[in-house]
Amino acid sequence: MGRINLLDPLLSSRIAAGEVIERPQSVLREFLDNSLDAEADDITVIIEGGGIDKLEVQDNGKGINREDLSLIATRHATSKIHNPDDLYEINTLGFRGEALYSISSVSKLTISSFDSEEKEASTLVIDNGRRYPVSETGPIKGTICTSEDLFLEIPARRSFLKRASTESTLCRTLLSSKALAFPNVRFTLKVDGATRMQWPKASDYKERVMMLWREYGISSSDVTMLTETEEDYSITVVAGTSAVKRSDKKEIRIYVNSRPVEEFSMVQAVLYGYGELLPGGSYPYACVFINDKSELVDFNIHPAKKEVKIRNKADIHHTLSSMIKKGIERKIPEIKSVRQFYLDDAERWENGAKTKSFGAMPTPHIEKPIKQEEKPIVYSHETSTKPESFEDNSSRYTPKDPDWLRKAKELKAIREKVKNEPIEKTEEKPHNEDEIIYIGQAFDLFLICQKGDSLYLVDQHAAHERILYDELLSLKTVQKLLVPIKIEVDDITDDFLERNSYVYTKLGISLLKEKKGEWEIDAIPAVCRGIEGEIVDFITSAKSDEHELEEKIFAIMACRKAIKMGDKVDKWAAQSILEKVFMMDEPCCPHGRTFLVKITEQSLKEMVGRTK
């Protein structure tokens, strides 16, 4: 007897469903795609028990007619494609015809819809593959898709789901991700009867992205929007300035034709664009929305459509990197009071009150000045004791000096004279906005100064390092060595030096080849005395182009020669450093780190509760 047999249709459908439906988040993704394809502009998501017990999506889209509803959720039933050529010109989020079929195989699926053209309502119920007749009842507008008891009949799959709270969080994360690409749609999330997120319609991508980023404490003044349109594609980037950064890449989001995708090359383009605007180990906030011609992209790769093939990837990569490099400004980080942070954001606050509902947002905690309890003086009417008065107790304060009366009269005469003399008003010097007033050094690291109406804290090492770096680039004074430094290199480095030794010569480092694998340095820049070892290490390991070689070698020289953390800096040296700092176009060290922080007079006053 043969061992091969045909699988039961219900079993095969559940196996196939495992490729598309992993958890409630997967169900929500497919429901949202259908609502957005139906041109809905108001979508409500209802979750109960983490979406395992119930997950419902209500929309106001154009609906499904009764004839189509009788075919829906059968395998490969779709209205999105009709012939093989359509597969390469997809303009909708869904197209496979597998999602609803998969959901109906592992849960109780109910679809109720009102067809806006036929003006009729219908409801379809499929319970774990068991299909029921279409009924003539339903909503008065749009479509309601409901999934209940997910994986109830597949206990092994259900056991791998996480707690209800975790599944709810995953659903909310997905909803936020989808919502960013559709600013013209209103989204509402309700979890176990409570509204957890409300995002109204937005005027553009920036306003929509800020609904999410405000939860991270980012102000719209620290975010910019860039757009670029080419013949085959357009790119919109909403990105933070150099003043905002994070320690991971989670907020570098890539969208292609409104789909969130995992596309490493585009993430790389964003990082290339930022370059040295952010210090090492820091990553930007950036949302990239790419709209490409449908025939140039292919989403038919991953069942969840997380991956994409882009035929003009190289062009988009270059454009994206260039527009970020040109458009993102370096901004001096500013310390603000909590109140000032919100008042600066005109989109969210008006006269200190919320004007829009953006879902879960941090509540500002503003310390109120502590007032000591005032104890009123109470006069008792129950006893004959009278309140003390100065007259009644004058004897207690009588001076023991017998000449006290004469002295008191003299003192009174002096006071009267001073009181009657005209007060000379001192002329206030006009405030010089460009004057740099050095205040002092903090923690043997920060130079503190006042300029205009702001205080600045300057990292002394990074600032001096940048000053030296700029000087090295302009001077390049060479000093001949009495005893040449011999170095040995491997074959790859030897070939590289053979081709690029002239670059080091231009930098003031004279390299001569003795024989295969052996070189010697007989001249270095004068300022490099004492750091010959670092230069040798760099030469034996660096394999960059001419521009990068110059930047890196001088960065090493400047770093080694600069004032260090812990060094005492006198007033005149500090003043000189500060003056050169404020002459820079971009205050950053050679490694890309911004080295000063600003705090305004107004923010300081608000932090200590001063109103005037």
Stretch 286-294: mean pLDDT, rounded?
93
Provide the pLDDT for residue 544.
58
Which of these CATH numbers, 3.10.450.40, 3.40.718.10, 3.30.1370.100, 3.40.50.300, describes 438-597?
A: 3.30.1370.100
What's the whole-number mean pLDDT along residues 254-276? 89
Whole-angstrom distance, CA of residue 546 vs CA of residue 504: 9
Give pLDDT, residue 127: 93
The answer to whether 507 and 476 have CB atoms below 8 angstroms apart is yes
At residue 444, the pLDDT reads 85
Asked if 203-335 and 438-597 have one fold, the answer is: no
Q: What is the CATH number of domain 9-198?
A: 3.30.565.10
pLDDT score of 140 more than 50 = yes
pLDDT in the model for residue 362? 40
Task: Identify the band that residue 432 occupies on the pLDDT scale cut at 50, 70 and 90.
Answer: low
Where is average pLDDT lowest: 34-48, 131-145, 380-394? 380-394
| pLDDT, tens only, 60-84 | 998 988 888 888 877 655 655 555 5
Distance of CA 149 to the CA centre of its chain: 37
Percent of all residues in the chain with a pLDDT value above 70, rounded to a whole number: 69
More confident residue, 379 or 512: 512
Predicted model pTM: 0.62
Strand order, beta sheet including 436-442: 334-335, 596-600, 454-459, 446-451, 436-442
Average pLDDT, the chain: 77
Of the chain, the percentage scoring pLDDT greater than 90 comes to 29
Whether 135 and 176 have beta carbons less than 8 Å apart is answered as: no
Rounded to whole angstroms, the Cα distance separating 62 from 272 reads: 43
Kindly report, residue by residue over 361-392, the tens digit of the pLDDT.
343 333 343 444 444 433 333 433 443 333 44
Domain ranges of the chain: 9-198, 203-335, 438-597
* 3-state SS, residue 317: helix
SS3 string, 365-379, reads CCCCCCCCCCCCCCC
Tokens, residue 34: 């259908």
Q: pLDDT per residue over 78-109, tens digit each?
A: 655 555 555 555 666 755 557 888 898 889 99
pLDDT given at position 279: 73
Mean pLDDT, range 204-222, rounded to an integer: 90
How would residue 433 be classed by pLDDT, with cut points 50, 70 and 90?
low
pLDDT band at 584 (very low <50, low <70, confident <90, very high): confident
Q: Determine the pLDDT at residue 215.
A: 85
Q: Hey, what CATH topology would domain 203-335 get? A: Ribosomal Protein S5; domain 2 (3.30.230)
